[in-house]
Structure 1
């Protein structure tokens, strides 16, 4: 595992961060993490809460946004600003409760402008488009656990002034300032980043089914971590801690932008019924994707997934909660609105 610090700053949270505890600060910065020695690095921007003593504090939740393709040379300052992971980490932190950590992850590989999440979604082709979603080995959940674990170690070293070579002492300072309840996980995928969301939904469905088949107790979020863990550190912890999936103006140049397999959604509902927690699915979109006359399948897939979720929600006693949110409705389709949704989206 290679960790390389790109830059780091400790800044206050954005002013619109809601119920941020008085006096609480944040560590905000960018690091690079590779999943294998010599492998490509994910560029990760983070905005993490600090305690009054400037140690990393255990959050209520970790919100993780996966970004999409690169768009360069537009000359549009709005698109340029919203293409920057470091800026997006602050935007995301500002949309969440003050005790939530924000993570923004760029793909480790790009084929020209195209994001290729092969390390998390092995089925993607050379352009990053999925040939399907295969849960075998739970690559997305395992990869996310590894990325977060190594990111936390690198950030704690930065805060304490140690180099990455000193991380083996495992004396990383943390504090719990709000609750002993372990953090939940909120997953967001923007544009091409939606393939990671789909992979995680598929993996959760398969993992939950296997847990029943093998008579394994499926934990809820309150059981999914050791006390005071900052992030989920295993495949099981990632999958069992997810409380929300957000699709943010996702779209592909092929089928597969949304999950349309009824059996996958049915098993997700069964999982909700077997646990004590709620699970939200929010489909956020703009006319750029949902009204594209050249890619009509995007809206059809969205409508089908939403209907499947609503059908299954009827037997989940209000604990499976699907919804859709349209932004900039009535405006002519353009590339800017596709990025502006990142600032406009209502996560709550």
Structure 2
């Protein structure tokens, strides 16, 4: 299954008017006539916009299509890759206010905690990706007829696709690069909150258990499926010019250990960093927050003792002088499952 559809699409989250640019690299059938369900959807949130560096490596690794290709090369041809830009930029600053409700005008967290009420990031992310697929495209790969072909093919026994013999919700893998980490912080708060509420069906919206409009086997079809399909979260050289780069709420991080218990194969929280962020003597809070986040997660994993919550930490380019170029080079150097 090496064929792919690649393209830049624009869509909005349900209920909002602002358009978000998303680079998609999606699995195609061998006949190239339909999209097929992936094993996983990998979603990458970019950081602030960097322009005028005249550095070819930074420019190459800033391109959405380059990032999508790297993700596929690392995670395999049976993944769908989505590289998501913020809803808008304030100058060069990325502003994910369509996913994170409490941000400053420059896109940074406005408080020490991330409010999970209503699951705004999860709901908006699922609707954004679903709306990307719902757009009629000239080549027809996003049409409803192709959904039907895809679903029927995936349900046929004896096929060579991993979904053959029965439909399964694709797993979700999230990566936040640089300021894109604020979306991860919000998602983790919601993931922990979700596991607290789900037993009582204590949710804020009546459509929580209903299918998203236009949903298909290419994506989770309900918010519950979306939450339960999240198995990996990767912080990629995350950092801010203020506090709040990492999720440090003990209650949230303890809840992730419980969330991991009801997932197969569990839940991985991975930290990837360079000297650019973790050895910045002018922003010591970045590494301090990272260390606190890692420590609390490790404590939670040990407390529950079932091995379902996995925490990994990888330092790249040790011994090199911190630079903006290495901040982008980590995207290509990433060690992921």
**Fold shared per TM-score above 0.5:** yes
Is the alpha carbon distance of 1:73 and 1:300 closer, same or farther for their aligned partners in structure 2, counting shifts above 3 Å? Answer: same
User: SS of 1:203's equivalent?
Assistant: helix
1:305 pairs, out of 275, 280, 293, with 293
Q: Given that residues 148 and 232 in structure 1 are in contact (C-alpha distance below 8 angstroms), is that contact kept between their aligned partners in structure 2? A: no
Is the alpha carbon distance of 1:125 and 1:319 closer, same or farther for their aligned partners in structure 2, counting shifts above 3 Å? Answer: same
Q: Given that residues 65 and 188 in structure 1 are in contact (C-alpha distance below 8 angstroms), is that contact kept between their aligned partners in structure 2? A: yes
Deviation of 1:157 after TM superposition, in Å, equals 3.9
The answer as to 2:45 corresponding to 1:56 is: no
Match of 2:162 in 1: 178
Match of 1:196 in 2: 183
Alignment of 1:1-348 (within 5 A): 21=1, 24-35=2-13, 39-54=17-32, 55-131=34-110, 132-154=113-135, 157-160=137-140, 173-174=149-150, 175-176=153-154, 177-179=161-163, 180-214=167-201, 229-314=217-302, 315-348=304-337
Structure 1 gap ranges (5+): 1-20, 217-223
Match of 2:208 in 1: none
Q: Given that residues 45 and 86 in structure 1 are in contact (C-alpha distance below 8 angstroms), is that contact kept between their aligned partners in structure 2? A: yes
| In structure 2, distance between residues paired with 1:75 and 1:275 | 45
User: SS of 2:58's equivalent?
Assistant: helix
| In structure 2, distance between residues paired with 1:70 and 1:320 | 33
Q: Given that residues 257 and 301 in structure 2 are in contact (C-alpha distance below 8 angstroms), is that contact kept between their aligned partners in structure 1? A: yes
Is the alpha carbon distance of 1:339 and 1:214 closer, same or farther for their aligned partners in structure 2, counting shifts above 3 Å? Answer: same
TM-score w.r.t. structure 2 length? 0.87
Deviation of 1:237 after TM superposition, in Å, equals 2.2
Deviation of 1:239 after TM superposition, in Å, equals 1.3
| In structure 2, distance between residues paired with 1:111 and 1:36 | 22
| In structure 2, distance between residues paired with 1:215 and 1:107 | 30
Identify the range of structure 1 (35-44 vs 256-265) with the bigger mean alpha-carbon deviation: 35-44
User: SS of 1:40's equivalent?
Assistant: coil
| In structure 1, distance between residues paired with 2:177 and 2:139 | 30
Q: Given that residues 208 and 267 in structure 1 are in contact (C-alpha distance below 8 angstroms), is that contact kept between their aligned partners in structure 2? A: yes
| In structure 1, distance between residues paired with 2:75 and 2:262 | 28
Q: Given that residues 129 and 252 in structure 1 are in contact (C-alpha distance below 8 angstroms), is that contact kept between their aligned partners in structure 2? A: yes
RMSD (Å), alpha carbons:
2.4
Q: Given that residues 28 and 46 in structure 1 are in contact (C-alpha distance below 8 angstroms), is that contact kept between their aligned partners in structure 2? A: yes
Q: Given that residues 186 and 244 in structure 1 are in contact (C-alpha distance below 8 angstroms), is that contact kept between their aligned partners in structure 2? A: yes
Identify the range of structure 1 (35-44 vs 244-253) with the bigger mean alpha-carbon deviation: 35-44
For these two proteins, the number of residue pairs brought into alignment is: 314
Q: Given that residues 246 and 283 in structure 1 are in contact (C-alpha distance below 8 angstroms), is that contact kept between their aligned partners in structure 2? A: yes
Match of 1:11 in 2: none
Residues 253-301 of structure 1, C-alpha deviations (whole Å, 9 max, x = no match): 1111111111111111122224454100110000000000111000001
Structure 2 gap ranges (5+): 155-160, 204-210
| In structure 2, distance between residues paired with 1:232 and 1:84 | 27
Is the alpha carbon distance of 1:134 and 1:338 closer, same or farther for their aligned partners in structure 2, counting shifts above 3 Å? Answer: same
